[in-house]
Amino acid sequence: MRGPEFTDAWTSLRRLQRLIENGGSFPQAGGVKPGRFIALLLAATLWAGCQKPAAVAPAPSIDDLLPKQAQPKLQTMKIYLGAETLDAELALTPREQQTGMMFRTNVTDESAMLFILPQAMRAPNGFWMTNCPVSLSAAYIGPDGVIEEIHHLEKNDNAPVVATNDNILYVLEVNDGWFARHNINPGTVIRTEKGSLAEMFIQK
């Protein structure tokens, strides 16, 4: 290895050795004699100069970041939609929301998952059906607990289904067609045993 960096390092070390041999004021390090110190320093410098940079790991792909299996059943909360009642699982954390109903094959009319978004938005810009083998219906709900929109989510479709309303704070996923079968339409208010969704989840 005889690049410019090698030549510069060698020249600098030779000058340093001559300075020490001529009585220059270079402090000894840990009792190592100057001659041996120079040899060690030279070896370390040449070794460092010959090292290849560590290989950089490739950035993970989207597939690498996606959940690989269904999540266990989440904690539930009873919700009321007019005369109908559901025990809805609560997807609260980012990982719970990312996983949602992925990989679940046992979705029935009793299945429901309520997503509490971090803030009102034109949601759900990240709701898709990748790895969801069963089609679902989703209600996009405003901060006041009123259903604004109801959408069909096609199984295994990775295209996000975006709301037209930019003030969505909750999303309720149920078995496909559940809202139609139970006559639940936009304008329906969702409530809990402790009052409205806002009273339950929005801090005053």
pLDDT for the residue numbered 127: 77
Looking at the chain, which runs of residues are DSSP E strands? 76-81, 84-91, 112-121, 136-141, 147-153, 168-175, 190-192, 195-196
Residue 58 within any structural domain of the chain:
no
- As for how many domains the chain has, the answer is 2
pLDDT for the residue numbered 192: 96
Compute CA distances 182 → 2, 123, 141, 142, 176, whole Å: 80, 24, 17, 20, 12
Residues 140 and 184 in one domain: yes
Residues 143 and 82 in one domain: yes
pLDDT for the residue numbered 54: 59
Residue 78 within any structural domain of the chain:
yes
In this structure, are residues 160 and 153 in contact, taking their beta carbons and an 8 Å threshold?
A: no
Residues 128 and 35 in one domain: no
* pTM over cut 0.75: no
Per-residue pLDDT for the chain (204 aa), expressed as one digit of tens each? 444 444 454 444 455 455 444 444 333 333 333 344 444 445 445 444 555 555 676 776 666 677 789 999 999 999 999 999 999 999 999 999 999 999 999 999 999 999 999 888 876 566 789 999 999 999 999 999 999 999 999 999 999 898 998 899 999 999 999 999 999 999 999 999 999 898 888 754
Task: Tell me: cis bond preceding 4? Omega within 30 of 0 counts.
Answer: no
Residues 22 and 74 in one domain: no
Distance CA(188)–CA(185), nearest Å, equals: 6
pLDDT for the residue numbered 10: 46
In this structure, are residues 135 and 159 in contact, taking their beta carbons and an 8 Å threshold?
A: no
The runs of H, that is alpha helices, within 22-111 are 34-50, 62-65, 94-99
Residues 46 and 15 in one domain: yes
Q: Name the residue range of residue 41's domain.
A: 4-50
Residues 46 and 143 in one domain: no
Residue 55 within any structural domain of the chain:
no
Residue 56 within any structural domain of the chain:
no
In this structure, are residues 139 and 123 in contact, taking their beta carbons and an 8 Å threshold?
A: no
Residues 194 and 129 in one domain: yes
